[in-house]
Amino acid sequence: MSENTVVDPSGMHREDQSAELKQSASKPTNIVQRVWAQSEGRIGVILTALIVLLAFLGPLLAPVLTGYSPTAFADRPFQDSGLFGTDDLGRSVASRFLAGGALLVTYSVAATAVGLIVGAAFGMTAAYAGGAVDAVIMRCNDVLLAIPQLVFAMLAIVVLGPQGWVLIMVIGITHAPRIARVSRAATLNVINEDYIRAAEMYAVPRARIIFREIVPNIMGPLSVEAGLRLTYSIGSIASLSFLGLGMQPPTADWGLMINENRIALSIQPWGVILPVVAIAILTIGTNLLADAIARATASTNVEKS
Amino acid sequence: MSTAMTTTADTVEDLSTVLRMDDLRVSAVGGSEILLGISLELYRGQILGLVGESGSGKTTAGLACMGHYRTGLQHTAGGIELFPRDGDPFYLESLSTEQTRELRGSRVAYIPQDPALSLNPAIRVGEQIREVLDVHAFGKSSAERGARVKEVLEDVGLPGTDEYQRRWPHQLSGGQQQRIGIAMAFAMFPDVLILDEPTTGLDVSTQAHVLDTIRDMTRRHDVASLYITHDLAVVAELADRVAVMLRGELVEEGPAQQVLHRPEHDYTKRLLAAVPDLAGRKDLSAATMRESEAVETQASETQVSEPGEATEASAMESAEPYLLEVTDLAMKFGDNVVLSSIDMTLEPGESTMILGESGSGKTTLSRCITGLVDGYTGSVRYRGEELAKSTRKRTIDHRQEIQYVFQSPFSSLNPRRTIGESLTVPLEMSKRLPRSEHKQTVEEALDAVRLGRSFYDRRPGDLSGGERQRAAIARALVNAPRVLVCDEITSALDVSVQASIVSLLNTLREERGLAILFVTHNITLARHVSGHINVLNKGVIVDRGTVEDVLENPTHEYTKALLSDIPQL
């Protein structure tokens, strides 16, 4: 407790500042590191990257590795010739598996992006405008939420035909209400902060307040929701393909492959097992990733494992 | 430390130690030390005031007395020994988790800061007190516990009737809620009482009542109290002894009179010098000079004049309309009348204080003036021109001439944007300057608030509360306004930071001829900040005039009551 142990407060403070300057605690870029710091986050990233790589490099490698293009006939149906045998029409399962992920991943990401943009726009507008606008948007939202996602998607596809853009829009729009709810709740938390009021005071245009002041501050909850919706998108699109309303034959697609090959599950299981495992790994990977992002944005002190 | 102990011994006759903290060390898990060896003793029937600024570790020390360390903190060395009224002394560290739970609330009780948050809104108040007794199996029968609830309620000056016990927390005022908290703490006849800033959220009049209750209960029940606070004036009113903490260390300890009037340590002296006094004898700017500020030379060169002085100069040109004139302003939210018939004026270079307790409508008034709240009736005129009600409808000039600084520096800057980006917004919106000059103007504003240009690229998360508030003031200054409305801008800050902000405002008023509307609940700041004062009570200005007039000869009952309830050093 002697005199010399006491440092002048402001002098000490400036030392802290210079240390902080090098590694700013409030820089948002840290989120990648924070996700990677968690073991769940690492597993999620690795699993997702694995399947995404497989899906996008697969179509290029399929003819080279297996010797058959995804639509070429290799043998009679359901034979175990070659690496993984043949499917219901005698095409190479290995080749179709390699080629079958690209569309699924692309469509899921696109559908999630559509849902995110539409949902976030409505959610933020509802929260920011408040009053009657809020009530109208959110009640319409509730009506949409009441319709089962898959039933709505099937209806739209039956009417509009099973094309890629229809699939993306329909899945995207069925995601929008849920994303709107999340972004509305997140915006409501931000809207009462004084910096929004300060921007109002300087009469900053409302659109600019949304993009500059609100969007960066709700990215945390929004990216968590996006990760979760991506998982659901993958499941929905694969399901629709399985039901014959997604990708159409003779396209190589994992969902479609499960449907085509399920009748011979006991004699030639590879045509079902491979796509099922791939879809499972992808959904688990994105789900873990979403959880890791949630934890990374929820608090700054991430447990080190 | 031992010298301090001997001095206490001859001033107080009977001292029996109840709790002894011996070289307690606490550190963050795998990180820096929070407490660097704290030694304290609490005596029966006495209150020890533990003061320090935010981050000094006073709450950590208080919680340690209950054997609690917040997540992320760990106890590394030293011990806490408790000498209960009946039974043998023991060390807190030697207890099992179960025994520690048994200890909390019975032998060591805690009163938290915010009564509204600490009471369960879904349990009636009588039952909440009773819960403590049930958990610790007080007495023999249920009737005995019921009687104790009634007794302890009457002890803290609340009615013990069944009707009162059946009330919900929301049916009580803040002061009553805090007294329920005190009743809960005293229910089990504890040996030690830890009070963590229990009056910080309360108005001065309510605070005075709660402090009376605490003092009375401590004496009557022979409890050893540890009163944690940042408010030195409260400590002066309440504590028998005072301990001062600075960044995890105890720098000074001794009898209250000695520490507060003849401080030995530099830090204590500086802390005391920064506390505003009602008489206005202290020079708050002098207190801040000793802190090595970034632009020290600049600040010390500027002579700060008496806040009221500029009015005489402007009085000569009385033909001119007032700089800011509010006439017959009234505001209500639904049926709730918040403000009625407010009249006030502001001259260039003048500083006027709007004084009011929470709920008096002072924030609403300042937001009406800046156009953040529309829907008021009456008019706000700037240089004789009537201002539109909402800020969006005002002209660019009107909007830029009147600037508003928000209460909490922790919420008024967007955490995702750099200080520079945030400060450029008013310039972008006013379109007065070409884009190329924006950066320079912002940097000059940062210099003007003594922050320095290096803050341009930093984010609010890297800044302390005082630095953020300076940045917020800089944002208000970039467009060179004529009127600055400061809404409780120092209430979230430590006293030494408050002193530096107050001296900054006085300097700016001086340099730029700014008119400042200083909205606050803290009457002791009056002489340091303002020449004029308007006392606002329940939406009506009840007293007004120069600071001297109002403080010396208050005309309204409310002002008199307010003045008599202020704790003084």
Question: What DSSP string describes B492-504?
Answer: TS-HHHHHHHHHH
Q: How confident is the model at residue B320 (pLDDT cuts 50, 70, 90)?
A: low
**Residue in A with minimal Cα distance to B393:** A203
pLDDT score of A44: 93
What ipTM was reported for this prediction? 0.72
pLDDT score of B13: 47
Whether pLDDT at A57 is above 70: yes
Question: From edge to edge, which strands make up the β-sheet containing B224-229?
Answer: B108-111, B192-196, B224-229, B47-51, B241-246, B249-255
Question: From edge to edge, which strands make up the β-sheet containing B324-333?
Answer: B336-346, B324-333, B377-382, B385-386
Tell me the count of A-B CB pairs closer than 8 A.
97
pLDDT score of B248: 84
Put simply, the answer to whether A203 touches B415 (Cβ < 8 Å) is no
Is there a contact between B335 and B514 (Cβ–Cβ < 8 Å)?
A: no
Pair of tokens at residue B107: 């032998």
Model pLDDT for residues B182-240, shown as the tens digit of each residue: 888 888 888 888 988 888 777 777 788 888 888 888 888 888 889 998 888 888 888 88
Put simply, the answer to whether A20 touches B460 (Cβ < 8 Å) is no
Q: How confident is the model at residue B319 (pLDDT cuts 50, 70, 90)?
A: low
CA dist., res. A99 & res. A62, Å (int): 6
How close, in Å, is residue A18 to chain B by CA atoms? 10
Q: Is B431 left (phi over 0), alpha (psi -120 to 50) or beta?
A: left
Model pLDDT for residues B138-172, shown as the tens digit of each residue: 878 888 888 888 888 888 888 888 888 888 888 88
Put simply, the answer to whether B412 touches A202 (Cβ < 8 Å) is no
Whether pLDDT at A19 is above 90: no
Pair of tokens at residue B461: 């998360």
How close, in Å, is residue A24 to chain B by CA atoms? 7
- Secondary structure (3-state) at B28: strand
Model pLDDT for residues A145-199, shown as the tens digit of each residue: 999 888 888 899 999 988 889 999 999 999 999 999 999 999 998 888 889 999 9
Whether pLDDT at A110 is above 70: yes
Whether pLDDT at A289 is above 70: yes
Q: At what angle do helices A102-129 and A39-66 cross, to 10 degrees?
A: 140
Single out the residue of B420, B448, B419, B442 nearest to residue B295, CA to CA: B448
Average pLDDT over residues A225-231: 89
Whether pLDDT at B3 is above 70: no
Nearest by CB to residue A26, choosing from B404, B426, B462, is B462
Model pLDDT for residues B111-142, shown as the tens digit of each residue: 888 777 888 889 998 888 888 888 888 878 88
CA dist., res. A219 & res. B48, Å (int): 47
Average pLDDT over residues B27-44: 83
Model pLDDT for residues B227-276, shown as the tens digit of each residue: 998 888 888 888 888 899 888 888 888 888 888 888 888 888 888 888 88
Whether pLDDT at A11 is above 50: no
Fold of A103-256: MetI-like fold (1.10.3720)
Q: Who's near A201: CB < 8 A, 6+ residues apart?
A: B370, B371, B372, B391, B399, B404
Q: Which residues does A contribute to its contact with B (CB < 8 Å)?
A: 1, 3, 5-6, 8-13, 17, 20-21, 24-28, 193-195, 197-204, 212-213, 216-217, 301
pLDDT score of B528: 85
Q: DSSP code of B104?
A: B
Pair of tokens at residue A199: 């921007």
- Which of A183-187, B99-103, B353-357 has the largest mean confidence? A183-187
Q: Which residues of A touch B475 (CB under 8 A)?
A: 198
Q: Which residues of B touch A203 (CB under 8 A)?
A: 391-392, 394, 399, 429
- Secondary structure (3-state) at B466: helix
**What is the phi/psi pair of residue B27, to 5°?**
-135, 160
pLDDT score of B74: 83
**Residue in A with minimal Cα distance to B421:** A212
Nearest by CB to residue A6, choosing from B246, B391, B458, is B246
Pair of tokens at residue B137: 């199996």
Pair of tokens at residue A303: 């447990």
pLDDT score of B305: 45
Q: Which residues of B touch A195 (CB under 8 A)?
A: 411-414, 422
Model pLDDT for residues B447-468, shown as the tens digit of each residue: 888 888 888 888 888 888 888 8
- Sign of the CA dihedral with B2 first, then B7, B10, and B15 last: negative
CA distances from A298 to A191, A217, A218, B359 (A): 18, 12, 11, 34
CA distances from B302 to B123, B286, B496, B506 (A): 57, 12, 20, 10
Name the one residue in this structure whose structure tokens are 């606002």.
B536
Q: Which residues does B contribute to its contact with A (CB < 8 Å)?
A: 1, 72, 246-247, 249-251, 265-267, 291-293, 370-372, 391-392, 394, 399, 404, 406-408, 411-417, 422, 425-426, 429-430, 458-462, 464, 475, 496
Average pLDDT over residues A89-114: 91
**Residue in B with minimal Cα distance to A19:** B462
**Residue in A with minimal Cα distance to B71:** A301
Put simply, the answer to whether A1 touches B250 (Cβ < 8 Å) is yes
pLDDT score of B105: 83
Name the one residue in this structure whose structure tokens are 């495992």.
A277
Average pLDDT over residues B365-384: 88
Put simply, the answer to whether B1 touches A1 (Cβ < 8 Å) is yes
